[in-house]
Amino acid sequence: MTNKIIVAGIGPGNKNFITPAALKKIRAAKFLVGGKRALSTFATENQITCAITRELDAAIDFIREKILLGEVVVMVSGDPGYYSLLDLLRKKFSPSIIEVIPSISAIQLAFAKIALPWHDATLLSFHGRQPARELLQFSAGKILGLLTDAEFNSATISKLLIDCGWDKNSSVTICARLSYPDEKIFSTTLDAAAQGEPVSHCVLIVQGA
């Protein structure tokens, strides 16, 4: 029988947002892979762990070795289906041995925090990538939900959106450290955000007039 790779979403960070299904798998895991923060939150000393670093090959090699011995649980932040290691795992292993446990994405929590439905929103990621410019163009009533990183942060993205035809007074809500005790959520204009202190690794919700 082939052992499975369980890709378990752990939600936006705070333990309160992980699903019971993911927690059960993580607790039962003999082989556990995850970022350093996830491992320090969830791993126990009986588990054999591998920290995910920029050297992704090390994690892949660990999974390749341990999958011969039993199930391997891989923890990813937010929802595995939304910009996570799942993409790479599907390239390195047969999707038939991958089981995904969904969770709450940072994007979902950001929209929930401002009580705004996201079914009509355009969801894009600037985390280590740049969306095609045509997807960023302004149109009336458009709502953007954006993941960010250090380079593409609240300031650089706000400038870019103004260049893409968004009114400089359009509303941008900056959602940082979602679910953590130091969570910070505030709304401002694109113009003010473009000139303000950059906030990185956050979610931006932009609403056109």
Residue 46 CB, nearest approach to ligand SAM (Å): 27
Cβ closest to ligand SAM, residue 154 vs residue 170: 154
Cβ closest to ligand SAM, residue 150 vs residue 209: 150
Residue 128 CB, nearest approach to ligand SAM (Å): 7
Residue 51 to residue 38: CA distance in whole angstroms: 9
Which residue, among 199, 195, 167, has the nearest Cα to 186 in the 3D structure?
199
Cβ closest to ligand SAM, residue 34 vs residue 78: 78
Residue 7 CB, nearest approach to ligand SAM (Å): 11
Which residues are near ligand SAM by CB under 6 A? 12-13, 76-79, 82-84, 105-107, 127, 147-149, 175-179, 201-203
Are β-strands 203-207 and 184-189 bridged in parallel, bridged antiparallel, or unpaired?
Answer: unpaired
Residue 92 CB, nearest approach to ligand SAM (Å): 18
- The edge-to-edge listing of strands for the beta sheet with 143-147 is 122-125, 143-147, 203-207, 171-176, 184-189
Cβ closest to ligand SAM, residue 84 vs residue 173: 84
Return the residue matching tokens 């925090």.
113
Tell me the CA distances in angstroms from 34 to 6, 71, 180, one per residue in order.
12, 15, 19
